[in-house]
Chain A
Amino acid sequence: MDTTTAPRTAGMRKRSSWSLLGEQAVEAAIRLSGISAIVFVLAIFLFIFREAAPVVFSDQFNPLEFLFSVQWYPTSAVDIRYGTLALTAGTAGVTLLAMVLAVPFGLGAAIFVSEFCGPRVRESLKVVIELLAAIPSVVWGFVALTVVSRLMVEYTSAPVGVNMLNGGIILALMSVPIIVSIGEDALRAVPDSYREAAVAMGATRWQLVFRVLLPAAKNGLLAAVLLGVGRAVGETMAVLMATGHAVQMPHGILDSVRTLTANIAAELGEAPAGSDHYRILFLTGIQLFVITFAVNLTADLVVRGTRRK
């Protein structure tokens, strides 16, 4: 790139060579930082894979069993098994439950914030949403253990308060702010002329929302939901504390489950570095990395689809 954009004229004072050298150094640093994101994404994958590799390339490793067996007995004395299906099912179940709770409320709140309130109320609501999004996950986990689990035992037939429903409720509360803020952006991106046309035709707000806004903003809203899913899948501490610790296929929403993330957090401390168990945990990390990568990539493509229009 040029260091000067205008042609130098005779009367101009020349910059000292130190100043030019300094500028080149800064620009080099900028370029270097520019590629840092790529470097770190690759490094994350490589370093995690490096820890997992010895077990992946060993003879006993069976990828089908790893992905599709429900038997997870990492510390058994006689029969060690590393099947992650129950953990994947736990992640899927908790995420699904969270989305069932969060999507209607999140989108409803997004519609309210974007369509039904004045600028002052909107700004205050956005601040509240931002604060809600800032609550640390370990505080949510604490709330799950102390408040939600007590309510759970009191009002449901659950034998213990920490279960899939508890995790779902907490994750729903955690992903609602993302869904609201991205969903609101998507709704605001719908041109006002659409709204004016609908109102001029005599449409009620109901009809305006359901026949005009939702179809027009559907890609952005889908991206909002996907980012909520991404957050729910990747969440660790809150689900670790909320869902109980049983590695089992869930049969109902009041069963205890364990998710992929919680499993790593629970067992990494006890697995000796370099053991098979330790390496398998890194492998489940790659599994998680791939899942969230796919979800976020889809969300990004969906959002870009809306922008191009």
Chain B
Amino acid sequence: MSSATPSVAAARPDGRPPFAETAFGRRKLRQEQAARSVFLLMTILMIVPLVAIVTHLVAEAWPALSLEFLLDVPRNRMTEGGIWSALVGTIYLVVISLAVAAPIGILAAVYLNEYAKDTWFNRIINLAVINLAGVPSIVHALFGLGAFVYAARLGFSVMAASLTLAIMTLPVIIASTREALAAVPMSFREACWNVGASRWQTIQGVVLPNSISGILTGIILQVSRAAGETAPVMFTGAVLYKAVERGTLFPYYLDDQCMALSMHLYVLTTQVPGLAHAIPYATAVVLLGSVLLVNAAAIALRVWLRHRKRW
């Protein structure tokens, strides 16, 4: 391990270097420390913005943040009130898109990891997964508009927007599921085959139960990604404003348009004049907070699972 490489300053009990100090040794020590501090500085400069941004946003949003802000709907041309309609819209989009993407993604990963041999065709599939992951979100929006809204005649709707998001999250779900499947040792499968189980029985009885936690972590991470995306839903089903009742749980049908938290933030910052200063900040904090919370939960799950892994 790199961290275990012996440093020049490996100390004697009195703290001095183990060999007599020379000018060369001192210079080397200084260089060591200089190197460390330069790279430390670069790392700190990367973290400072994160902390600064989060603190600033929370500080500015503080006056507006309350449970009422979450549960109330936007009022008075969106210059007052809360964000319930957008919040519940985002939940709809995320749940439906993952309900579509997760099964396909998991099955595709099972194919790639458990069935596929190293042929040219499967290499093309791999390439397709990588490139699908790199397609810009606005291109996904164009695809959703062309394919789901117009060609499939879903119209601008929750369904079209969710399907667009599903295709966007699919490659990442495939990649993370594959990683989880690949972490199951080959000997587990071999033991199962040796007692006469078929390939699918092995997958069902041994591979999936041993990797389900890793698969779930990957899917949870996509919850936050789907919730944060704006461009793909902006042109396929999310609207500026839709009147719903305060606190209602089922305000939208699948063929309705809906509001989405990410788009709501965009609209508030760019298109709504004269609203209370704290409202866009509070919207940003709710979006950022929920995304970071979901991510932190996934990370915690992963750490916990790594500790109780038995092989």
Contacts and interface: CB of A to CB of B under 8 A. Distances in A.
Interface size class of B (residues with CB under 8 A): 35 or more
A206 B35 contact: yes
Q: Is the interface of B mostly helix, strand, loop or mixed?
A: helix
Contacts of B146: 47-48, 50-51, 282
B134 A5 contact: no
A3 B198 contact: yes
A37 B124 CA distance: 10
A97 to B, nearest CB: 16
A36 interface: yes
B100 to A, nearest CB: 11
Contacts of B280: 142, 146
B266 A282 contact: no
A109 B292 contact: no
B258 to A, nearest CB: 16
Question: In the complex, which of the residues A209, A234, A282 has the most CB atoms of chain B within 10 Å of its own CB atom?
Answer: A234
Nearest to B47: A128
B45 interface: yes
Contacts of A230: 134
B160 interface: no
A250 B94 CA distance: 38
Q: Is the interface of A mostly helix, strand, loop or mixed?
A: helix
Contact of B231 (A36, A119, A236): A236
Given A128-B47, A230-B134, A33 B228 contact: no
Given A44-B139, A108-B39, A199-B6, A300 B127 contact: yes
Contacts of A282: 142, 146
Interface string B118-139: 0000001101111111111111
B20 interface: no
Contacts of B193: 5-6
Contact of B228 (A136, A180, A233, A285): A136
B227 interface: yes
B39 A116 contact: yes
Interface residues of A, number: 99
Interface in B205-260: 221, 224-225, 227-231, 234-235
A10 interface: no
Contacts of B142: 48, 51, 264, 268, 281-282, 285
A233 B291 contact: no
Question: In the complex, which of the residues B6, B133, B143 has the most CB atoms of chain A within 10 Å of its own CB atom?
Answer: B143
Contacts of B138: 234, 236, 261, 264-265, 285, 288
A1 B193 CA distance: 14
B46 A105 contact: yes
Interface string A28-47: 01111111111011011001
Question: In the complex, which of the residues B3, B46, B49, B125 has the most CB atoms of chain A within 10 Å of its own CB atom?
Answer: B46
19 contacts: A3-B200, A29-B107, A30-B111, A47-B143, A47-B151, A48-B143, A51-B150, A114-B2, A125-B47, A135-B50, A136-B229, A136-B262, A199-B5, A236-B231, A264-B138, A282-B146, A285-B138, A292-B139, A297-B127
Interface of B: 1-3, 5-6, 8, 28, 31-32, 34-36, 38-43, 45-47, 49-50, 53, 56-57, 103-105, 107-108, 110-112, 115-116, 124-125, 127-143, 145-147, 150-151, 167, 170-171, 174, 193-196, 198-201, 221, 224-225, 227-231, 234-235, 262-263, 265-266, 269-270, 280-281, 284, 287-288, 291-292, 295-296, 299
Given A109-B43, A111-B39, A236-B136, 4 more contacts: A40-B167, A41-B132, A115-B2, A134-B224
